[in-house]
Amino acid sequence: MKTVIFGGSGLIGDGFLQECLRADDVTQVLAVGRTPLELTHPKLRQVVHTDFLDFSSVEDDLADADACFWGLGVSSTGMEPEAYERITYGYTTAAARALHEVNPDLTFVYVSGGGTDSTESGRLRWARVKGRTENAIISTFPNGYALRPGFVLPAHKARSKITAYRWAGAAAAPLVPLLRLLRLGPALVTDTAQLGRAALNLTRGGYVRHVLENRDINSVAAL
């Protein structure tokens, strides 16, 4: 399969990227981003693209894609609402439209988050925007999926670029063994490698639900 990855320079995107490069049935990985990744691999091809609201100029690069794994995202903290919606909803749906043109049967895996509001009517703006994005992806692609991870641990020696996330990870890491001991781990904790494996397994065989909570993610990753 040929996979397209957005957000490969981030923590989530790195999990997608590393697992795709390791997978025997992935023949090509296309990373689309504003700047090149500091990585080379025989399977990896990179496209530098700056206008994430218009992908018409790279449609030829997207051709023949079997799956898109969307790891691009930002925190709503400190952002203007319009900017957050443009990045979270606008960028994602613009890419989805371009990919739908080249392959309407493509598997699109969008990373959302726990607490996302699929009704689009709740109190929290970020949850509504992510819910709207989830709904758009799932309605666009029969093979569209939204992943709602809880706490995401880094794998493959990756580190988040967001300082607050790194601090949170360092603070929460000692609690992970306790959560696992209490059998709460699968419901609350995953890691970037499991997100990558889950996305690949969704492409290979689908799933009974299109919105996957943390426990579902870990289950699909283990298939």
Q: For residue 187, what pLDDT is reported?
A: 74
Q: pLDDT band at 99, cuts 50/70/90?
A: very high
pLDDT digits (tens, 9 = 90+) for 21-37: 999 999 999 999 999 99
Task: Let me know if 27 is exposed, middle or buried by CB neighbors in 10 A (0-12, 13-18, 19+).
Answer: exposed
Residues forming a β-bridge with 32: 6, 47
- The label of the residue with tokens 């025997």 reads 24
Tokens of 155: 């794998």
- The label of the residue with tokens 């991870």 reads 149
Q: For residue 179, what pLDDT is reported?
A: 53
Q: What is the mean pLDDT of residues 38-62?
A: 96
49 contacts 58 by C-beta, under 8 angstroms: yes
pLDDT digits (tens, 9 = 90+) for 148-175: 999 898 997 655 454 444 444 444 556 5
C-alpha distance from residue 177 to each of 85, 148, 149, 172, 185 (Å): 36, 21, 18, 10, 8
Residue 73 has pLDDT above 70, yes or no: yes
Residues forming a β-bridge with 158: none
Residues 208, 210, 213, 215: what is their CA dihedral angle, to the nearest 10 degrees? 30
As a whole number, the mean pLDDT across the chain is: 90
54 φ, ψ (degrees, to nearest 5): -145, 110
Q: For residue 163, what pLDDT is reported?
A: 46
Residue 135 has pLDDT above 70, yes or no: yes
135 contacts 173 by C-beta, under 8 angstroms: no
pLDDT digits (tens, 9 = 90+) for 176-209: 565 555 455 567 789 999 999 999 999 999 999 9
Residues forming a β-bridge with 153: 191
Q: For residue 173, what pLDDT is reported?
A: 57
